[in-house]
Structure 1
Amino acid sequence: MVETHAKKRPGSIAVRFGDTQVTYSALQALVDSTADDLLERTTPGELTAWSVEEPVDALATLLAAARTGRVAGPSDMAGMTLAAADHAPDPQPPFCVLRTAGVTGKPKSVALGESTLTAVLVDVAERLELLPGHRFLAPTPLSPGSAFAGLLLPLVAGAELVLVSPQEAQHLDLVQSRFQRWRPAFALAPPAVWQRLLAAGWAGAPDLAVISSGAPLPEPLARELASCTRAVWNAYGQVETSVWASVGRFSSDENTVSVGPPVAGARLEVLDGALAALPDGESGELYVGGPIVSHGYAGPSGTADAHFVPDPRGKDATARLFRTGDLAHRLPDGTIQVTGRREPVGVPAASGPPAPVSEEAQVIADAWSDLLGILDPPVHANFFELGGHSLAVMRLASRLQQAFGLPVPVADLFENLTIASQVDLVERLYEEQLAELS
């Protein structure tokens, strides 16, 4: 993905992280050495771990895996071997595995293919007019979910990626200073982070294009961002759909925020329970089709997951539709607006971020609000994609242990990254504690 830029612009900065700056030629050299190491100590399809605490090395590992036919993924999967049958959308073996909370809130692993993801990123870069030399700021720490693949976007375009550390991300004044110092042309973050920045007094920048991803973009927030930046882009998708299925620019003349046109290789449909297309304006569930859709979750039961269904309009029998769990309707211009979630836990499906109502859910939501600096976090949102990171997970474990009076293992929180699934976790831990006392 970066070899061409390393040849054309070897001295240009590829990545900045803290006091470290890495040129494209240096990044390519790191990829080369990592690829040699992978070829020596691993076999085709074998998964090698990357660490979110070392983002430059993590990016190099991912790029080296793509070149060598190996797979990069979370550390707890190291040593596993994945093949093409492990559900990357490409016919080739997958090159990376990312974590997702999935539609149900339970953590799952999705294998992605290089050619499909690259095609998506190239299409998005062209829409944004992201060019070599542009600075691209990521004001949230690296996470093992879709945000990680999104950080490849500037590298595909030959732009300069500026990262913040988990420690910096906890201090909004430091994040604001990064905007002031580096004056990025683009910045990518979930809506909650943009809301936190604005609430803290961030004034935007007239030359900045913001990209909102990872959760629905509320119309008032989109409008406020549009008033203080040059452009607001809404990116919609899931790890299961090669990260982004659609990207669209918000217009202040509109009263709604659509998910935008589909990316290359994607098809978005609003369907009823029988997978029949619904007319414009009628609400149904949003499905994503096309070659960007994974064939299932990585693992023995992945293809049997009910959220991947045969695509009646697909090219062949292997084509799948992904049930996003989002309620949506098609607008008169043909684009789609997401209005809520199908069967949310503890709350009715509705437009905007749902507020949890059970006592346990409220306690957990309050902890999230304090740690992430957001109000009313959605019960199905992924902790990492709202701006969380590994250190924040450890702080969350301490908070929940104090609130509920029982041990909350950090490892269990990493396996339950939504409020909904953490409610289930707390209830299970209560039951286990009672069983030990009886």
Structure 2
Amino acid sequence: MTAAGTTLAVPQMVRRWTQRAPHAPAVRQGSHTRDYQAVAGLARAVADRLTAAGIRAEDRVAVLADRSADLPAVLLGIAAAGAVCVPMDATHPADRLRYVATDAQARLLLTDGTQQVPPTLAGLPVLRLDTLAPVSGEVDFDGHPQQLACLLYTSGSTGRPKGVGVTHGALANCLTATAEALTYVSGERLLAVTPLTFDIAMLELLMPLTTGGQVEIAGREQARSGPDLAQLLATTTPRYLHATPLTWQMLFTAGWTGDGGLVALIGGDRVPPALGGRLAERVERVHHLYGPTEATMYAVSDIVPPGPQPGVLPIGTAIPGTRAVVLDRALRPVPPGTVGELCLGGVCLARGYLGRPALTAERFVPDPDHPGERLYRTGDRALVLPDGRLELRGRDDDQVKIRGHRIELGEIENVMSEHPDVAVAAAVAVPVGADQRLVGYVQLRPAASASALDTLRAYLRDKLPGHMRPTAIGALRTMPTTTTGKVDRAALARIRLP
């Protein structure tokens, strides 16, 4: 592990570039462009209004905003006020939004004025971004590196999402180390396509501004449409684009032929070797990135060579500020070539899970080789190749990646089981080409109505965001089980549903 080389928080790094080049372009969406001075002015206005509203260090501020050129300033303003950003998505079910706001103990809701505040959030004081005018001054941060910067909610096995607390030190390390791995230089532009609730959005919206670069923000529909995204790439000619394997495949399906000046970042899900090699043939280079939210987005990276790739695509080696080791169940190193659990350490680690000390202690454990430090047990199986790179070999538990989102199948099963017609529920991820398909299976109660599956689908639409809803649901007479009485997921995966 090498140090990423920063003792500054993100607002301080952006302030440095604002002082150097105040009128350099910083953020653009369509015809709307903000230079560094304008971003700092709006961020300062956000910070001042939050402070005036009584927001103090580590108070949580929920953010419900559409994709716009204002987003980086919103994130910087919350950080400058010492508050914790809690991203939300207006397309998520109201019950989920209410749970996140309650669990995070949000003190205030920041909106952009275009989003209707759901009734479930009506009790929160609201700050509308469209009522703020930029003010003179610079964005800064006078807190501690171990102070929380953001609270990112991921899927939870108890049926409820869990908040991962990312510190300013960890966030700054991730952005600095990733920029170093990419050889990102001032003036270069990154096209941001990731929803705000996905951890990678923090990297997309902030990393360019910490290096003197520029963020080009894709609209929500542009990011979801292959033809629209291909057109946006052609008209904006960014230097960098991060996307999940599914999005890159979506571009190819839309007829995108590549760009020899583009640096492609691919991660957030398993990367099929054929897709990685094909992408590398059509761009300047491809960075394969791996990392969980608990290690602040990305912790391991590799360069994908062009052409056909045999077997499994390696994920590479640890980025600066991060340790990546493969250990046995007793947290002892395993020999190269032996499969063990991938564990991550270093300044990249999140503080832990909000309000869940037992789970935090289970997943964030003392590092036996570095007294006083911790390791995060990822649950991913991995091995070290002869050249020192890491290769993934599946997961320890029932977490899966669907469309770039890390999902715990237990959360989906618990919600399905709450339906009155369902006796037993199970969810599995079934490989479909370069992606995975989320499929649900239920054993209905004897008194279930003939329309039980239809009502279950409607129920899930109200309870789960789109990426967590099964694309198909099948009713089984009895749920297959293993000899230990557990649901036989392997047997379920062999059942084909239309």
Fold match by TM threshold 0.5:
yes
When residues 58 and 78 of structure 1 are mapped into structure 2, their CA distance, relative to the original with a 3 A threshold, is farther
**What is the rounded CA distance, in whole Å, between the counterparts of 1:271 and 1:105 in structure 2?**
29
Q: Does 1:170 align with 2:170?
A: no
For 2:384, the equivalent position in structure 1 comes to: 330
Say if 2:145 and 2:168, in contact at 8 Å, map to a contact too: no
When residues 201 and 122 of structure 1 are mapped into structure 2, their CA distance, relative to the original with a 3 A threshold, is same
By percentage of residues, which structure has more helix? 1
For 2:150, the equivalent position in structure 1 comes to: 96
- Listed as ranges, the matches of 1:235-314 within 5 Å are 235-252=289-306, 255=310, 256-301=312-357, 304-314=360-370
For 1:283-308, what per-residue CA distance to the aligned partner results, in whole angstroms no more than 9, with x for missing partners? 11111112211232112436645222
Partner AA of 1:185 in structure 2:
R
For 1:75-105, what per-residue CA distance to the aligned partner results, in whole angstroms no more than 9, with x for missing partners? 5236359xxxxxxxx7632121112236889
1:175 CA drift (Å): 0.6
1:377 to 436, 449, 467: 436
The number of residues matched between the two structures is: 375
Q: Does 1:129 align with 2:176?
A: no
When residues 405 and 3 of structure 1 are mapped into structure 2, their CA distance, relative to the original with a 3 A threshold, is closer
Say if 1:45 and 1:69, in contact at 8 Å, map to a contact too: yes
Q: If the length of structure 2 is used for normalisation, what is the TM-score? A: 0.68
**What is the rounded CA distance, in whole Å, between the counterparts of 1:186 and 1:66 in structure 2?**
25
SS in 1 for 2:106: coil
For 1:146-195, what per-residue CA distance to the aligned partner results, in whole angstroms no more than 9, with x for missing partners? 12222122222221111111122232111100110011111111111111
For 1:271-330, what per-residue CA distance to the aligned partner results, in whole angstroms no more than 9, with x for missing partners? 1111111111111111111221123211243664522222212331xx321111211110
SS in 2 for 1:257: coil
When residues 329 and 13 of structure 1 are mapped into structure 2, their CA distance, relative to the original with a 3 A threshold, is same
| Segment drifting more, 170-179 vs 287-296 | 287-296
SS in 2 for 1:408: helix
1:106 CA drift (Å): 5.5
Say if 1:105 and 1:417, in contact at 8 Å, map to a contact too: no
**What is the rounded CA distance, in whole Å, between the counterparts of 1:232 and 1:102 in structure 2?**
32
| Segment drifting more, 91-100 vs 242-251 | 91-100
Say if 2:194 and 2:200, in contact at 8 Å, map to a contact too: no
1:196 to 232, 240, 250: 250
For 1:361-386, what per-residue CA distance to the aligned partner results, in whole angstroms no more than 9, with x for missing partners? 47x979xx9xxxx8642659xxxxxx
Partner AA of 1:286 in structure 2:
L
When residues 365 and 284 of structure 1 are mapped into structure 2, their CA distance, relative to the original with a 3 A threshold, is closer
For 1:386, the equivalent position in structure 2 comes to: none
**What is the rounded CA distance, in whole Å, between the counterparts of 1:406 and 1:64 in structure 2?**
39
Q: Does 1:79 align with 2:106?
A: yes
When residues 55 and 301 of structure 1 are mapped into structure 2, their CA distance, relative to the original with a 3 A threshold, is farther
When residues 343 and 408 of structure 1 are mapped into structure 2, their CA distance, relative to the original with a 3 A threshold, is closer
When residues 406 and 225 of structure 1 are mapped into structure 2, their CA distance, relative to the original with a 3 A threshold, is closer
Say if 2:173 and 2:348, in contact at 8 Å, map to a contact too: no
When residues 97 and 281 of structure 1 are mapped into structure 2, their CA distance, relative to the original with a 3 A threshold, is same
Say if 1:62 and 1:96, in contact at 8 Å, map to a contact too: no
Say if 2:323 and 2:344, in contact at 8 Å, map to a contact too: yes
**What is the rounded CA distance, in whole Å, between the counterparts of 2:35 and 2:464 in structure 1?**
36
Say if 2:226 and 2:253, in contact at 8 Å, map to a contact too: no
Say if 1:100 and 1:146, in contact at 8 Å, map to a contact too: no
**What is the rounded CA distance, in whole Å, between the counterparts of 1:150 and 1:286 in structure 2?**
23
2:52 to 40, 53, 70: 40
1:43 CA drift (Å): 1.9
Q: Does 1:63 align with 2:117?
A: no
| Segment drifting more, 305-314 vs 109-118 | 305-314
Greater C-alpha radius of gyration: 2
1:359 CA drift (Å): 9.6
Q: Gapped runs of 5+ residues in structure 1? A: 82-89, 347-357, 381-399, 424-438
When residues 265 and 108 of structure 1 are mapped into structure 2, their CA distance, relative to the original with a 3 A threshold, is same
Q: Does 1:212 align with 2:266?
A: yes
When residues 37 and 218 of structure 1 are mapped into structure 2, their CA distance, relative to the original with a 3 A threshold, is same
Identity of paired residues, percent?
Answer: 29
1:61 CA drift (Å): 2.6
When residues 72 and 125 of structure 1 are mapped into structure 2, their CA distance, relative to the original with a 3 A threshold, is same
- Listed as ranges, the matches of 1:214-233 within 5 Å are 214-233=268-287
By percentage of residues, which structure has more strand? 2
Q: Gapped runs of 5+ residues in structure 2? A: 1-12, 89-100, 109-143, 401-423, 440-451, 474-498
1:261 CA drift (Å): 2.2
SS in 2 for 1:407: helix
Q: If the length of structure 1 is used for normalisation, what is the TM-score? A: 0.76
**What is the rounded CA distance, in whole Å, between the counterparts of 2:157 and 2:460 in structure 1?**
24
